[in-house]
Amino acid sequence: MMDSISRLLRMAQLRASLDKRCLLGGATQMDVARLRELEAPFHVLLEGECQLQVGTVLLDLGPGDVVMIPSGAPHRVITSGRGSLRGTTETAGDAFVTTRSERGGAAVIDLFCGHYTFDAGAGALLFRSLPDPVHVSFGQSAESDEVLRMLSALMRGEARREGEGTAAILSALCTVLLAMVLRTSRGDTTTTTLWTAATDGRIAEAIEGVLNEPGADWTIDRLSRAAAMSRATFLRHFSQDTGMTVGAFLARARLMAATELLSTTDATVATVAGQVGYQSESAFSRAFRAEVGTTPARFRRDQVQRRKASTPADGGSHD
């Protein structure tokens, strides 16, 4: 069976893009506008220190820190220094934009900025289930730090080269970065609770089991017995390790699977409901609408329209 992180990324139909390399000097402010629907920005700080502000949240970033904003909310990057804050200038390249401080000067940070695009079903449910923002400090973990150093070296090397295939290579490396974030547990390496990275092996096995077989009869009693815990102990550990209740997780996992089935098969809504563990089509439709914001039938029609809109027209120009 596929591991949970790999399954989630596949279900989300994730696409990654590195948009900017920011070599900013001191006393600089860079504003990032709200992204479009179904897009989430990320930043990875390779060198230096800066602050990132999202709404009322102010994060202090150091080397090895990664921030992702699942909501796509507008935000601001600030570097410290003397004098009034200055803005930025951009230079377009073949694969990405290079951003520097106005009036030049030596760079005090090396920051890569990009975004993830995901589908309106499982992807939207996954990103909505994550803390906003997600702040992971790989630099505080020796093992993760080594992996990030190798990853950042590859990203920097490719960014300097910027030749044939650079966009595709950087996209793949950014996907690797997200997989690392999703599997990084809270504690020394992150400031947020990620349900995708449960530290208790018994809870992690329960999560993986549900994701692999969402239609199974996953009662709390069955899950607690499989974890060799009492019902109360299992509920407590699950909540502590994931930041959500068992019921909320079960519903989300089943509906993520349902959106994938509705998008990729011709199965009826009633059939999909049964395949993801719902006893009736009406109960499934109510849960689906509450979580996804539309009915299963309309979601399927919208997905068909999105695919048509994103598919290039047949043929081409003819003389």
Q: Is the backbone of residue 27 left (phi > 0), alpha (psi -120 to 50) or beta?
A: left
- CA angle (86, 89, 95) in 5-degree steps: 145
C-beta of residue 170 within 8 angstroms of C-beta of residue 96: yes
Query: One digit per residue, pLDDT tens: the chain, 319 residues?
Result: 578 899 999 999 999 999 999 999 999 999 999 999 999 999 999 899 999 999 999 999 998 889 999 999 999 999 999 889 999 999 998 889 999 999 888 999 999 999 999 999 999 999 999 989 999 887 555 555 677 778 888 888 888 887 888 989 999 999 999 998 898 765 444 556 688 888 889 999 999 999 999 999 999 999 999 899 999 999 999 998 888 899 999 999 999 999 999 999 999 999 999 999 999 999 999 999 999 999 999 999 999 888 888 776 554 544 4
Burial profile 264-294: b = 16 or more Cβ within 10 angstroms, e = fewer: eeeeebeebbbbbbbeebeebbebbeebbee
Q: At what angle do helices 281-292 and 296-310 cross, to 10 degrees?
A: 50
The per-residue pLDDT for 189 is: 44
C-beta of residue 125 within 8 angstroms of C-beta of residue 259: yes
The per-residue pLDDT for 95 is: 86
The per-residue pLDDT for 151 is: 86
The per-residue pLDDT for 52 is: 97
Of the candidates 218, 215, 220, the one whose C-alpha atom is nearest the C-alpha of residue 258 is 215
Residue 319 in any domain: the answer is no
CATH number assigned to the domain comprising residue 169: 2.60.120.280
For residues 14 and 103, membership in a common domain is answered with yes
H or E stretch at 285: helix 281-292
- In which domain, by residue range, is 267 found? 198-306
The per-residue pLDDT for 318 is: 45
How many structural domains are present in the chain?
A: 2
For residues 59 and 166, membership in a common domain is answered with yes
CATH number assigned to the domain comprising residue 255: 1.10.10.60
Residue 128 in any domain: the answer is yes
Taking only Cα atoms into account, the Rg of the chain, rounded to an integer number of angstroms, comes to 22
